[in-house]
Structure 1
Amino acid sequence: MKDLLIALRPQQWVKNIALFAGLIFSQNFFDPWKSVVVLAAAVVFCLASSGLYLLNDILDIEADRKHPQKKNRPLASGRIRPVTAHVLSYALMVWALIAAYVLNRNFGLILAIYLVLEFSYSTYLKNVVILDIFCIAAGFLLRVIGGAVVIDVPMSSWLLICTIFLSLFLALAKRRGEMVLLEDRAADHRPVLAHYSLPFIDQMMTVVTASTILGYVLYALSPETTAKFHTRNLQYSIIFVVYGIFRYLYLVFQKREGGAPERVLFSDKPLLLNLLFYLASVIAAVYF
């Protein structure tokens, strides 16, 4: 039972916090019913993503056995039989789809798109250079869209732009982390890494880093945002965004981390503390 739980990768569920973005920025964070609905939507995404993680581990079982860390996963190490993982994987995804459509039909459609995208990524798109990065980023974007759709609130174009560039930033950091960890064996584990080099990834990271910060600054200072929240106080959250990006770059380049964003977030106290300060500044600006 313990190995099955490990195989579901509960540590990855933190990514589903992204579903709460629409709730917070639509000024519905203190609405009990909508908060419960978004929480339910996050649980649905946890089920769906765990099903996909199992499926991905089945497909990558041989490659994972060559990886210095992934070789210890329950499937790669042989502690779980593939047939068991298959059954549980499809069961979780079916349950998640049914629950999603019960919550909101459009949210069910978003989840269906997410499942198709991630299945396509696991079977083919992860081997297509650059497109693989966009697929990883799209997973984060669909979470944000899903969180807004499930409670029927409009998505800000600025929020979508910021999410796109931040998602690309995290995806590129993940690829860089893999290349640094695996070094000359990178292409043996993930063939698409043969098409990347550290200078190439660093150039793309420079572009998306600047775009992420600029996008958020323009969002926080835009007349549209000021009119919506009746305040310019969101500008004070910019400093936490800039610090968070710089801190993450420090961990990626100086500490050779970044391969697992969820681990970086919870293992680095300054980054986690900065996230809490950022959320507090946003809630203070948007609600008070």
Structure 2
Amino acid sequence: MVTEGAVGSAATPQRGVARALVRAARPRQWVKNLLVVAAPLAAGELGDGDVLAATVLALVGFCLASSAVYLVNDTADREADRAHPTKRFRPIASGVLPVPVAVGVAVVLGLVAVGLGLVADPNLALLLAAYLAIQVAYAFWLKHEPVLDISIVAAGFLMRAVAGGLAADLLLSQWFLLVAGFGSLFIVAGKRYSELHTLGSEAGTRRSLVRYTDTYLRFVWSTAAGATLISYSLWAFEQPTGDGVPWHTISIAPFLMGLLRYAVDVDAGTAAEPEDIVYRDRVLQLLGAVWLVTVCLGVLTT
């Protein structure tokens, strides 16, 4: 006969593993996947029911795929993470989440993500499969190679931005692709710059950081920021004005201020976790809201 106490003690480790699994999947970082909405929004098609449904499938697919990647990445890095002052508390590194469970769930999440992509559009499924393959290669090898590491992470952001367009079968503007590409590089180079400042003498826990310098990473993120602004401005100038008010052109102002506001954190070396900046910086949130309103007005009035 199984007593209530025995059932409770047996269930506790299972609940602990489940909580650890949720932590390792990092749902807090799903905010990055909102980039999936960018292409349908820029094209002014997000209000269409079919486009919205396809975009939602792409968004959920990337949320699941990114969580699968986090599980694989933490599994590959578990030994190095144990030597890190904060990463040693991660579920896999600390031993709370068993490696077989993490790998098994990662495989399931990856398959479901590709399946959702297939429901939306075969091209989206191919993109998700390519994203997973590249990120697995990154976890086990490419993350240790300078330049390749920031290029792969930036490509991940770019894939998110392209995903919405593929899912809804929308034509992607060349300027949109440039904004997404250089913007991604700006964020990733800023992240590495901040990590270099944060880790200091502990930079050896990420081998690629040892090969970077402050001046090199500053050159990369500042160049990428300038290219992002120019590309966005050229995209905005090309958009039609329906009611005579150039809302897309006006949106350049909040876009620029948001870029500069984020650059403050990059320059201070506090942009190692971009999602934390998005969650805590109220001014950046306000600028983002103003930018979104101006872009939506531009779409609705044309």
TM-score, length of structure 1 as denominator length:
0.95
1:269 pairs with 2:247: no
Hey, what does 1:119 align to over in structure 2?
136
Partner of residue 60, structure 2:
43
Q: Where in structure 2 are there 5+ consecutive unaligned residues?
A: 1-17
CA distance in 2 between partners of 1:165 and 1:102 (Å): 30
Retained in 1: the 8 A contact 2:67–2:109? yes
Match of 2:75 among 50, 58, 65: 58
Instruction: Say if 1:229 and 1:157 are closer, same or farther in 2 by CA, change over 3 A.
Output: farther
- Work out whether residues 261 and 284 of structure 2, in 8 Å CA contact, stay in contact via their aligned partners in 1: yes
Match of 2:211 in 1: 195
Instruction: Call closer, same or farther: CA 1:47–1:228 in 2, change over 3 Å.
Output: farther
Shift in Å, 1:67: 2.1
Q: Secondary structure at the match of 2:164?
A: helix
**How far is 1:272 from its partner?**
1.3
The count of corresponding residues between Structure 1 and Structure 2 is 284
Q: 1:20 and 2:33 equivalent? A: no
Structure 1, unpaired ranges of 5+: none
Q: Indicate the residue corresponding to 1:283 in structure 2.
A: 296
Q: Name which of 168, 173, 180 aligns with 1:151.
A: 168
Overall identity of the aligned pairs, in %: 33
1:232 corresponding residue in structure 2: 246
Give CA-to-partner distance per residue, 1:82-115, whole Å, 9 cap, x none: 1110111111111111221122111111111111
Q: Following the alignment from structure 1 to structure 2, what is the Cα–Cα distance between the partners of residues 25 and 246?
A: 22
Q: Which runs of 4+ in 1 moved over 6 A?
A: 227-231
Does the alignment pair 1:7 with 2:18? no
Following TM superposition, by how much is the alpha carbon of 1:36 offset from its aligned partner in structure 2, in angstroms?
2.2
Could you say if the C-alpha distance between residues 228 and 51 of structure 1 is closer, same or farther in structure 2, counting changes exceeding 3 Å?
Answer: farther
Aligned partner (choices 196, 210, 220) of residue 179 of structure 1: 196
Query: Structure 1 residues 98-107 or 11-20, which shifts more?
Result: 98-107
Q: Could you give the per-residue CA deviations for residues 234-276 of structure 1, whole angstroms, max 9, x where no partner exists? A: 011111111111111111223x311111111111111111111
Contact 2:131 2:159 in 1 (8 A): yes
CA contact (8 A) 1:229 1:286 kept: no
Higher CA-based Rg: 2
2:270 matched residue in structure 1: 257
Distance 2:250 2:125 in 1: 36
**Does residue 246 of structure 1 match 2:260?**
yes
How far the C-alpha of 1:231 sits from its partner, in A, is 6.4
Query: Contact 2:131 / 2:156 at 8 angstroms: preserved in 1?
Result: yes
> Once the two structures are superposed, what CA deviation does each residue of 1:122-146 show, in whole Å capped at 9, x if it has no partner?
1111111111111111001111111
TM-score by length of 2: 0.90
Structure-2 separation of matches of 1:228 and 1:151: 24
